[in-house]
Structure 1
Amino acid sequence: MGSSAALPPPDLSPPDLSAAGFSTVAVLMFDRIPLFEASVPIAVFGERRDDRPDFDVRVISAEGGPVRTDAGMTLAAPYDLDAVDGADLVVVPTWRRPTDGGPPPDEALEALRRAHAGGATVVSLCLGTFVLAATGLLDGRPATTHWRYAGLLASMYPRIEVRPDVLYVDEGDILTSAGSTGGIDLCLHLVRRSHGAQAANSIARGLVTPPHRAGGQAQYIDHPVQAPATGDPFGDTLDWALRHLDRELSVDGLAARALMSRRTFDRRFRQATGTTPAQWLLHQRVLHAQRLLETTDEPVERVARSAGFASAVALRPHFRRQVGVSPTAYRETFGMAGQAR
């Protein structure tokens, strides 16, 4: 009897949708959700034109019946959870605020787990990340959500590596995005990843939005300068430092102003701010530069010196590391000229 080569084991891994593309999109709507975020995947995938891929978009009521939005409007979703089966892409566009009510319903969580196990790409936009987190699919993975709720996500689901400073996280079969228009960025990324840049650019032009935004979510996070407690030498020293960021400030000099030894000052500083004096000063200088870029038309070189940096060249790497974009790019978006545009 002749011999024959053993057959290889069957490939049971999920299909590579990044190469094969996707055509059927299931969008799960939950009760009391924000209207704008809920509309994002429908706006990106729903319009049909000759120069765009033709997606079959299924809008699903994840909890059954009409979907009430947080604006008081009621939406009639034509599909129920059974429509998740067979979808190539399953999107949770948003979720009600995590502090409003209980967890997502078990039926919806099981539908998401089943879709992922069946090879679908599963996506959450904005607060929808809390729904994916409840399924357990994000355990051990990086993920993002709206920066305002990133801390809450990390505390509720400590097994997730929360990245609050990015617009979206692409893990191949699971993707998550930051808030509001970050969902548009992720949906366009999905089109670009599976159907090419031309298709994504066509959709972006129709939405009058950039096909790709530089930087991450960090440039949109508001970091208010906290007023130090006054009435004691330590609080008065921090307040003085905030008013004199343009000067050369040394930690030893601040400790002397606070009438403390350097060791006591460092210990008190970490207790009050959670960081070191040097790190705090650098952070406050970048924040001050941000405010000057937003509210003045001074050259970046002068902004840098007003914030305590030797030059614009010295400011740039710290600004980019903390904010996510260069000072010039930040001013173009948030400066007075950008606001006028």
Structure 2
Amino acid sequence: MNQSRLFSPLKLRSIEFKNRIAVSPMCMYSAVNGLPNEWHMVHLGSRAVGGAGLVIVEATGVRPDGRISPGCLGLWNQEQLEKFKPIVQFIKNQGTVAGIQLAHAGRKSSTDLAWKGGKPLTPEQGAWTTVGPSALPFSEGWHTPHALTVPEIKQLLQDFVHSADLALQAGFQLIELHMAHGYLMHEFLSPLSNHRTDNYGGNLENRMRFPLEVAAAVRKFWPAELPLFVRISATDWVEDGWDLEQSIVFAKELKNLGVDLIDCSTGGSVPKAKIPVGPGYQVPFAEGVRKGADIATGAVGMITDPYNAEEILQSGKADLILMAREMLRDPYWPLHAAKKLGVDVTWPKQYGRVNT
């Protein structure tokens, strides 16, 4: 292959990614009090060593009760900031852009660790009060969330900005706002979870209001030279839920606020949606948002083959490939993909003997 799109640079604002391969945010459920530790250094650092152009830290709570579980990362205090600094610096030292996904899990918070079943915590396990746009539990047996008041919504805006401030101090070059997978901002967007009757519920304009306010507040604070991503679920996969048409409208509004790329995932709003999972199953949504809203998009979801990733980019379906499970299987996927595509990339000098 003479010219690989996958290994061509991508520039957004002042940041240039050395290639179009990103490590998608993946929860590790391995933090204590929201603090990153050695596990996160090795997990994230090895993906940077492996050649990805961008590494995005997992969904990181902007406040304690915004975490999915007690094992999830947080960024609301100085101690967490200091623990992130060496990890961020290591990622950047590999020539990789360091990003972080800021999140609030809403009604899907206060759950046990994934490998313990991920079920809602009991009071004996330290359960906390969950929140959402409406007092509707995610599923039977889940906590019924407290319906947020308008003053509480306004406080959440400040929480996101505060975490963005800490992220900047830690050295992160990119923020992704988590508005997908049935977590708080997606809960406001979807009519399945938002039954409010005030200015934050009802029609599409009102349901978009809180997520757009968060994007606007973070973009206003976040330096103009640094990019801002938003992850969405482009469909709930359920009739009368959130869908691609609404996602395009939403993406246009996000673009107007200065968001640089829409990371297009799907699902998560309801527990029993029928999702046709398969290689590249979410790519059509990245393509639809890219063309419909005229904004850069990222494709994610069971993209494992370098030739498939190349085709997605070459055909204009997306601008960036985000990889999750395949990066867990092979942290050096970018280096191996380059070889398959006939692209000459530089391995870490410490691993130079591999190419001899």
Q: What TM-score, normalized to structure 2? A: 0.29
Q: From the two aligned structures, give the one with the greater strand fraction.
A: 2
Q: What TM-score, normalized to structure 1? A: 0.29
